[in-house]
Structure 1
Amino acid sequence: MPSLTVNVDHVATLRQARMGIEPEPVTAAHMAELAGATGIIVHLREDRRHIQDRDVELIRKTCNTRLHLEMAATEEMRSIALDIAPEIVCLVPEKRQELTTEGGLNCLGREGELADYLAPLHERGIRSSLFIDADPAQIEAAAATGTEFVEIHTGHYADAKDIRDRRKELASILEGIRVARSLGLKVNLGHGLNYRNVLAFRHVEGVSEYSIGHAIMSKAIFVGLDRAVRDMAAIIRTFAD
């Protein structure tokens, strides 16, 4: 059965808006686990705009499920990952001016570079994932790096303004899942998924994990975090294995 991993970055974003001490991402991580999340995601950005180093350290020490660390492929971040030892590292692209991750990591022509980057993490027993667009060429390049997972970027599907574009983006993702699995990769999906658009994947086989944050935290404002996570977890439990 596919699992739900919850991103708590937006809790940190709210805290950092006033550079204060609340709300606490660690508390949010614990509540999400109790409500049915099978993993916690944090993105430690180079500019530290939301999640801070102490958040990663505390969640690592107290996480009862799996810690997924999203990060850029830099020497600093790899050093942190080797020290913290999350269950999974997901390499993502970063731009200082972006509001959120806008697209997938470019793996084409970087297969050897990324393989070398990931090697010490794999030796440490840390699993890896690459956040990429549903482009067969990118998926093939990702497979050549030795990563175990790819997380297919669902943002273009989620942001589609009309049904024709949405169907086109969905078809691209479904083909990406097929290609990835044919290459022996495990597949996660994430970015922009919410309680409505995620339903398109209900009968889709071959997805290991759904990575969702913004929609859950948005709903939590109105119904509370426990209910928001439980409702999403209940949806994911109905999905195909």
Structure 2
Amino acid sequence: MRLSVNIDHIATLRNARNEFDPDPVEAALIAEKSGAAGIVCHLREDRRHIRDLDLERLRQAVTTKLDLEMAMTQEMQEIALKTKPELVTLVPEKREELTTEGGFDITRHYKTLAEFIKPLNDASIAVSIFIEPEQKSIDLAKKAGADIVELHTGIYSLKKTDDEREKELEKIRHAALFANTLGLSVVAGHGLNYRNAASFSRIMQIEEVSIGHAIIARAAFTGLEAAVKEMLQLLRREA
């Protein structure tokens, strides 16, 4: 299983003092050197962490895969077409949320979504949609032109007992299998950490997990290189 590292909260820490350190680009390079298969950043409308210049510098520096998480807006589409990350992941976004709270409402936005994706596809930018692990959403993602679905694991991460987690994991497993039958690649993310991520390596249809907050938090004590390597060891241990 591959690991993509979200470096947003390196920028959060930097922005707390509105200075230059720590540098998200330096964090991305350390993560790549430590075994990450990709770097994720979320350019939000309010620029609360990653900023436009960060994205430009990341595009120049990242050699694995740059995944730009973004809302489905005209501004973000234009930025993506200019920056040309390898991957765009469409996520819902609300100003008042602390972090993304759930999957993209693909049923409500399907018509607009299909029109939004086409220019990205035409520019050879792969498109992923962050959705709930449900067959209807997966089917609509495929029809809209997505290449990848990222299954929302936030509900799984909040479960309290082993039985509850296993039940939610089975739901995610079935969703991943269905997505594969449609020809979609599958990744997973949100709320995954050093206590709950390893189980995903048992789901062969999931190629990659995206983890940010947990790794950056661990890095405060161990350093980023060690934090990334520890997560990779956990993901490979269950395989």
Per the TM superposition, whether the score is higher than 0.5 is yes
CA separation of 1:79 and 1:226: change in aligned 2, threshold 3 A: same
For 1:34, the equivalent position in structure 2 comes to: 33
SS of residue in 1 equivalent to 2:58:
helix
Contact 1:115 1:145 in 2 (8 A): yes
For 2:197, the equivalent position in structure 1 comes to: 198
Contact 2:31 2:224 in 1 (8 A): yes
CA distance in 2, matches of 1:141, 1:209: 21
SS of residue in 1 equivalent to 2:144:
coil
CA distance in 1, matches of 2:22, 2:158: 28
Q: How many residues align?
A: 239
TM-score relative to the length of structure 1: 0.95
For 2:81, the equivalent position in structure 1 comes to: 82
Contact 1:3 1:210 in 2 (8 A): yes
Moved over 6 A (4+): none
For 2:45, the equivalent position in structure 1 comes to: 46
Contact 2:198 2:236 in 1 (8 A): no
For 1:58, the equivalent position in structure 2 comes to: 57
C-alpha deviation, 1:238, in angstroms: 4.5
C-alpha deviation, 1:159, in angstroms: 1.4
Contact 2:88 2:127 in 1 (8 A): yes
Contact 1:204 1:239 in 2 (8 A): no
User: What letter matches 1:27 in structure 2?
Assistant: E
CA distance in 2, matches of 1:126, 1:177: 22
Unpaired runs of at least 5, structure 2: none
For 1:111, the equivalent position in structure 2 comes to: 110
Contact 2:201 2:236 in 1 (8 A): no
TM-score relative to the length of structure 2: 0.96
CA distance in 2, matches of 1:122, 1:183: 18
CA distance in 2, matches of 1:92, 1:167: 26
CA distance in 1, matches of 2:207, 2:44: 25
Identity %: 49
> Aligned runs of 1:1-241 on 2, under 5 Å?
2-238=1-237, 240=239
CA distance in 2, matches of 1:134, 1:219: 28
Contact 2:199 2:238 in 1 (8 A): no
CA distance in 1, matches of 2:165, 2:233: 24
Deviation per residue, 1:148-204 (Å, 9 max, x gap)? 100000011011233343233222211211221122111001111112211212221
C-alpha deviation, 1:13, in angstroms: 0.8
Q: CA RMSD in A?
A: 1.3
Contact 1:111 1:144 in 2 (8 A): no
Deviation per residue, 1:43-95 (Å, 9 max, x gap)? 00011000000110001001111100000000000000000000000000001
Unpaired runs of at least 5, structure 1: none
C-alpha deviation, 1:239, in angstroms: 5.7
C-alpha deviation, 1:214, in angstroms: 0.9
CA distance in 2, matches of 1:195, 1:170: 16
User: What letter matches 2:80 in structure 1?
Assistant: A
Deviation per residue, 1:120-158 (Å, 9 max, x gap)? 111111000000011111111111111010000001101
Contact 1:26 1:59 in 2 (8 A): yes
SS of residue in 2 equivalent to 1:89:
strand
